[in-house]
Homo-oligomer: A and B are copies of this chain.
Amino acid sequence: MVSAQQPEGVSPQPTAATARYELLTLGDELLLGLTANGHLTFIGGQLGRRGALLQRNITITDEADAIVAQFRESWARSNVVITTGGLGPTCDDRTREAIAEVLGQKLVFEPTIEKAIEERFARFGRKMTANNLKQAYVFERGEVLPNANGTAPGLWVEQDGRVLVMLPGPPNELQPMFIDQVVPRLARLGLLTEREAYVQLRTAGIGESALETKLQPIFDRHGAGLSVAFCAHQGAVDCRVSSPTGALSYAQLEAVAGECAQLLEDDFVCYGHDTLAHVCAELLRTQEKRIAVVETATGGLLSNAFSESCGACKFFAGGVVCCSNDAKMQLLDVPECLLLQHGAVSDEAAVAMVTGAAENLAADYALAVTGFAGGATGAGGNPVGTIFIALFSPIGVWSKKLSYPGPRSTVKVRAVNAALDWLRRELLRVQRGGVVPVRRTGVMQ
């Protein structure tokens, strides 16, 4: 990159590790709390994968003055400025003009964009209104990033030793454009690493500090060139190993991760970003087994986790959501006397539910979740946050009692993850041909 005007406080040849990235997210709907700022999550995550830390995200209103002032400031101190939103056809889409003013560039009409917009409208049988032509104006010295999923193209400018990337607001337009067009360009300029900058291990069933303690001897052996970061989710902890100084190659990072995975045994879930449900789905597909679900406290979210997988029919036998005792009896043949004696939130009920689900849905495995996720205090001496989960497998049926603090939404996610993790461990054990206990129905506390 030419460095006519060097950004302050950054090296003349910025790398992924040293480049200053700022993200400007535009739109009153973000500041009014009407829409979550998913662009920060997405772009921050994508930059992180390629070795760069987003320095700052600024959300401002759609006013041209505010955009001009903020862009001027961000441009002066950054190597890369990324903007989202404000590229559409309506009168409150003012970003393009505001930024052209700061860059001292003219906007010029690009007939090929007009044609692409017209074709898109024709494909959906609609007529293009005149205000759409605004989207065909581009910087005189810049490039166009074609938009496969919408009308407003992205824009790319290299100027003053800096890069400007302007992206449309809708996530289904922005995200593929960023991955397919922006990341490779930034990598070619050396502003992102050529491949993933870290190897991520996803773990479950082990706390963050216990995980760190267990893996520390491995990290110590590899010295200061190795950088380690942990991120706890609800019941899962990710560990990322990287080498910002380049002391360790990617292959060496993979080797370190491999050592960790081996040491962690079944607490290791996968490399990368797959969900627990996806990992279970793959194990079920491999073993040609099917899973059934019955849930009360999680309201349908455990079933939904499985049904997110493509081709879920193949391994997901079905789910039943039943907060009433009637539904448990009607659909799953849970005996009424059992519910009356032990209550619907009990080990006994969980075992009866999971067995009923497996048998009525002709599944090889089944999961049950029952409990009190929030709202009124639980009955039968069980406080809110008490969850019973049960697992049915070809070699046995078990239940266990868990307790989670926090609001309803947290309890639900943790219960879903606990159930999925239990299934995952059982599937691994069967796959290994491990200890096969005699078939029994019982309660495991």
A residues sitting closer than 8 Å to B (CB atoms) are 28-38, 40-48, 53-61, 66, 70, 172, 231, 293, 296, 298-304, 306-308, 310-313, 316-324, 326-327, 330-331, 360-362, 375-376, 406-408, 410
For A44, the chain B residues whose CB sits under 8 A away are 30-33
A59: contacting residue among B57, B319, B331, CB under 8 A: B57
CB nearest neighbor in B for A412: B304
B310:A375 contact, CB within 8 angstroms: yes
A58: contacting residue among B34, B56, B319, B330, CB under 8 A: B56
A321:B320 contact, CB within 8 angstroms: yes
For A322, the chain B residues whose CB sits under 8 A away are 318-319
For A29, the chain B residues whose CB sits under 8 A away are 231
A324: contacting residue among B316, B376, B407, CB under 8 A: B316
A60: contacting residue among B56, B330, B375, CB under 8 A: B56
CB distance from A100 to the nearest CB of B (A): 22
CB distance from A356 to the nearest CB of B (A): 11
A53:B34 contact, CB within 8 angstroms: no
CB distance from A95 to the nearest CB of B (A): 16
12 contacts between A and B (CB under 8 A): A31-B40, A53-B61, A57-B58, A57-B59, A58-B59, A296-B307, A299-B308, A299-B312, A300-B321, A301-B304, A311-B375, A313-B324
A42:B32 contact, CB within 8 angstroms: no
CB distance from A53 to the nearest CB of B (A): 6
Number of copies: 2
In whole angstroms, what is the CA distance A199 to B327 when docked? 40
A32: contacting residue among B35, B45, B406, CB under 8 A: B45
For A32, the chain B residues whose CB sits under 8 A away are 44-45, 48, 53-54, 231
For A42, the chain B residues whose CB sits under 8 A away are 33
CB distance from A96 to the nearest CB of B (A): 21
B34:A37 contact, CB within 8 angstroms: no
For A45, the chain B residues whose CB sits under 8 A away are 32-34
A40: contacting residue among B30, B320, B407, CB under 8 A: B30
Instruction: Please name 11 further chain A to chain B contacts, defined as beta carbons within 8 Å, in addition to the given A37-B40, A300-B307, A327-B361, sorted by A numbering.
Output: A31-B57, A32-B231, A37-B57, A55-B61, A56-B61, A57-B57, A299-B307, A303-B303, A304-B321, A321-B321, A331-B361
A59:B60 contact, CB within 8 angstroms: no
A311:B376 contact, CB within 8 angstroms: yes
A326: contacting residue among B41, B55, B317, B376, CB under 8 A: B317
